Amino acid sequence: MEIGIISQSSTLEKLIKDELKPYVKQIDTEAYYAEIFLRKLGEAGMFSSANKSQRDYLLEEMYVVQETAKVCMTTAFCLWCHLAALTYVRQTKNEKLKNKMLPSLEKGEILAGTGLSNPMKYYAGLEKLYLQAKPVQGGYLISGVLPSVSNLGSDHWFGCIAGVNEDKQIMCFVPCNTEGLKMKEKVDYLGINGSATYACSFHDVFVPDEWILSENAEEYVEEIRPAFLSYQIPLGLGVTQASISSIEKVCQKQNGCNQFLTKQPEVLRTAEQQAQEKLQSLYKGESLNFREIARVRLETAYLTLEAVQASMLHNGSAGYVKDSAPSRRLREAYFFANLTPTVKHLEKVLNG
């Protein structure tokens, strides 16, 4: 059983076929950002949480991420960014902000990024906090630099965390076009360059109280991180499924020589199904267990790396072409392993 197959799966399939598949090579080689696809997902109701429990909308949205990742993990990553931002707004106790932003975010009228890579590492003891906040009348002035925030554009928003002092951090939701915020696009990565990633420099950016998600960011991160992490797992599962399919398509090449490779598709398929079952079990209880989600996220990262490497070996020289699907998925998998929380970050959380 796959994550949470949605009632509009035929609509999703059509959107992927019409609005994503034709652009995959352009996304990978020319840093094209599939904004229209993301907006149309919202228009089609794929982000709606109305009359649904957290479990229901989480599983349904994770399915959308997985199906997107099968075709293009760069765009699935952008989708994860938007869903992470949605989580911030869904969970906030700032009703004014929620009432203003949530409907537009769920309909895809406004797209958003996450901005929490550095804070997640800060709370794990890996980095210092890059943004600082100074209290002023009606809000805060924020200064500092976030090196990489994805799924951004001139009319997008994103979440971020800034330190007020050693004991207090705030979490806020800011628009990209706010005064004092400078953005520089980054397209020099090994892959995932169509993810609308920017370095964000804050120069006394005024953040009014109405944009504050939480006055206690450390506590708030504890609340949002189970969903934040859950939405990442299907990124790897989608790439894994696509890699297994690519292996199965070439099993008869060169007189069936691939049968002598040690890693066969049946073994990978079994491991992927076991990961799906573990994932399902995480959402059967009343509350989400962060450590168990982290464990499945880590196992999925290793499985994805295993699957893409097997696909490269099975595809042989055809996979070694620069813009081939197997080589793209190889680069996607290495990105997934380094997406916050990274493999080493997760190893520290679980085994440190």
| DSSP H or E run through 48 | none
Superfamily of domain covering 112-220: Butyryl-CoA Dehydrogenase, subunit A, domain 2 (2.40.110.10)
Radius of gyration of the chain (CA): 20
Superfamily of domain covering 9-106: Acyl-CoA dehydrogenase/oxidase, N-terminal domain (1.10.540.10)
Task: Give yes or no for a contact between 108 and 64, defined as CB atoms under 8 angstroms apart.
Answer: no
The pLDDT of residue 284 is 86
Cα–Cα–Cα angle for 234, 236, 237, nearest 5°?
A: 60
The pLDDT of residue 2 is 62
Cα–Cα–Cα angle for 346, 347, 352, nearest 5°?
A: 115
**Nearest to residue 195, comparing CAs of 79, 300, 337, 23?**
79
Structure tokens at 266: 């049946």
From CA 127, how far away is CA 146, in angstroms rounded?
A: 12
Which long-range contacts (C-beta less than 8 Å, at least 24 apart) are formed by 184-192? 186/148, 187/31, 189/335, 190/331, 190/334, 190/335, 191/28, 191/74, 191/328, 191/331, 191/332, 191/334, 191/335, 192/73, 192/74, 192/77, 192/331, 192/332, 192/335
From CA 108, how far away is CA 81, in angstroms rounded?
A: 13
Within the chain, all domains assigned CATH 2.40.110.10 are found at: 112-220
> What is the identity of the amino acid at 244?
I
From CA 191, how far away is CA 69, in angstroms rounded?
A: 14
- Tell me the mean pLDDT per 10 residues along the chain, length 352: 69 96 96 98 96 92 97 98 98 97 98 97 95 98 98 97 96 98 95 96 98 98 96 98 94 82 92 94 87 96 97 91 93 96 95 84
The pLDDT of residue 124 is 92
User: CATH for 232-351?
Assistant: 1.20.140.10
**Phi, psi torsion values for 64, nearest 5 degrees:** -60, -40
The pLDDT of residue 5 is 66
Within the chain, all domains assigned CATH 1.10.540.10 are found at: 9-106
CB atoms within 10 A of CB 40: 18
Structure tokens at 174: 């800011």
Q: How many CA atoms lie within 13 A of 177 on its CB side?
A: 5
Within the chain, all domains assigned CATH 1.20.140.10 are found at: 232-351
- For 68-93, the DSSP string reads HHHH-HHHHHHHHHHHHHHHHHHH-S
Q: Let me know if 209 is exposed, middle or buried by CB neighbors in 10 A (0-12, 13-18, 19+).
A: middle
